[in-house]
Structure 1
Amino acid sequence: MSGHPVLTMKDVGVCYFRKRGFLKRQKIWAVRNVSLDVRHGETLGVIGRNGVGKSTMLKVMAGIMNPDAGVITNYGGYSVSLLALQVGFLPYLTGRENVFLSGMLLGMTRTQIAEKMSEIISFSELDDAIDYPVATYSLGLKARLGFSISFHADPDVLLIDEVLGVGDAQFRVKSAAAMRSKIRSNKTVVLVSHNLETIEEMCERVVWIENGTTRAIGTTADVLRAYMSQVKGRAVPDPAD
């Protein structure tokens, strides 16, 4: 059962500038006027078409990007990490050395990383390859290691951006099962996915992001119904109306 807010965003915006001619620059808002709250122990789903600002929003939540407008509030100093692949990997370092580097970027101490090293290696199934330079890894091996590091960081709030299907077929099954187990363990999770069946199965509430702003936030059933109606070309009132 979800509880008190651990993280809120109020009218958050992120912009960048695009050159228009020799001297002119045009301001483009990747995210604008996004407002939402993340509650303790819940899995909050985030849906929307490609390129509407979902990934940018997660980066702001994780502290990777600073907002250009609005306020983001972390109640109680909760640790927040984005489950990402190849976080900070340097190709000339070994897999083991990159575990330390990436783990620290995700907020872990060297002691915590050392304690979890065997679990990270075992889950990634790299075995002896953990001591080879990452430059020798295939994309699949990099994805396995990146997922394993992020998965074992174990923050208070876990942000997941479309990574429930990384690596080869066998590892995809393994990683998806691991994430489902973590989500069901009362972990606070924000999950971005285009798989609406996954959102329906795992999430208590859903945020619908459209054109960089919050279109709707509410129960999973209500928001998915409104979203699917738009996708099918039937205009319906927003769930909040």
Structure 2
Amino acid sequence: MNNVIVEIKDLSMCFNMTTEKITTFKEYLIKLTKKQISYNEFWALKDINFQIMKGELFGILGLNGAGKSTLLKIIAGVLKPTIGEVNVFGRMAPLIELGAGFDPELTARENIYLNGAVLGYSKKQMNKNFDAIVAFSELENFIDVPIKNFSSGMYARLGFSIATVTNPDVLIVDEILAVGDFKFQQKCENKIKEMIESGTTVILVSHSIDQIRSLCTRAALLEKGCLLKVGEINEMCDYYYSKYS
């Protein structure tokens, strides 16, 4: 157990889905008061159990709707599971949603400090690493521009640069590399490899099986909220292709 950095035990997640369309908050309150709202249970994850070891680059595989992003949000602490628990033994930096932790009305400079605070970095740490963040993101000419004017690729550059400027124990990456250009994707992959060599554990979700195969050492496959298989990366990618091709 000493090498386990993420432990997922008996994890299930249920969402209550309304059975009718409610278009306004006023309508919702009226129906809620009259007890006229009915729900269907949707189990996004069901009885998930596995462990991730320190220093691994662990991939999460699955088709759309398999529960990959929900699982990452629970690991990151954004969602609380309905049943079970997740234990993370170290400091975590999540990149699970484009623009999360940013204020679009603020400039890139201001958002570096805001997002750094969200990730648990002190102002002193951000001052020390500010130039490195800007240099890695390659956004020097846009540092004082409100990020509401940024493209999705620029959001990704800024978010990735902040999260990886110091090595967290666990880095969570959910499809964020897919929005950058090829050159920056390569730069991010090289940075991830450097972080792994220094001991960071990375959890990666990507629809690019080739990217998962080239970066990861092990992976888990989800299907409709259930854990189908956990194993070595080549075995898992081959299994994925044979099952869904």
**TM-score range for the pair, normalised by the shorter chain length:** 0.7 to 0.9
Distance 1:62 1:168, change over 3 A: same
Paired position in structure 2 for 1:80: 92
Counterpart residue type for residue 11 of structure 1: D
> What is the deviation of 1:185?
4.0
Aligned to 2:226: 213
**How many pairs were matched up?**
229
Q: CA deviation at 1:115?
A: 1.0
Deviation at 1:120, TM superposition (A): 0.6
Say whether residues 1:226 and 2:239 are aligned partners: yes
Where 1:143 maps in the other structure, the secondary structure is helix
- Cα distance between partner residues in 1 of 2:19 and 2:166: 42
Paired with 1:101 and 1:13, the residues of 2 have a C-alpha distance of 32
Q: Structure 1 residue 34: deviation in Å?
A: 1.2
1:12 aligns with 2:11: yes
Q: Which amino acid aligns with 1:139?
A: S
Of 122-131 and 83-92, deviating more is: 83-92
Deviations 1:112-144 (A, max 9, x none): 111111011111111142122223333332232
RMSD of aligned Cα (Å): 2.1
TM-score (norm 2): 0.85
1:101–1:53 Cα change, 3 Å:
same
* 1:152 aligned counterpart, secondary structure: coil
Letter in 2 for 1:36: F
Deviation at 1:153, TM superposition (A): 4.7
Q: Indicate the percent of aligned positions where both proteins have the same amino acid.
A: 36
Seen in structure 2, the aligned counterparts of structure 1 residues 184 and 49 have a Cα distance that, compared at 3 Å, is farther
8 A Cα contact 2:175 2:207, kept in partner? yes
Does the 8 Å CA contact 2:169/2:199 hold for their aligned counterparts?
Answer: no
How far apart are 1:88 and its partner, in Å? 1.7
In 2, Cα distance between equivalents of 1:155 and 1:61:
14
8 Å Cα contact 1:106/1:153 also seen in 2: no
Unaligned runs of 5+ in 2: 21-35
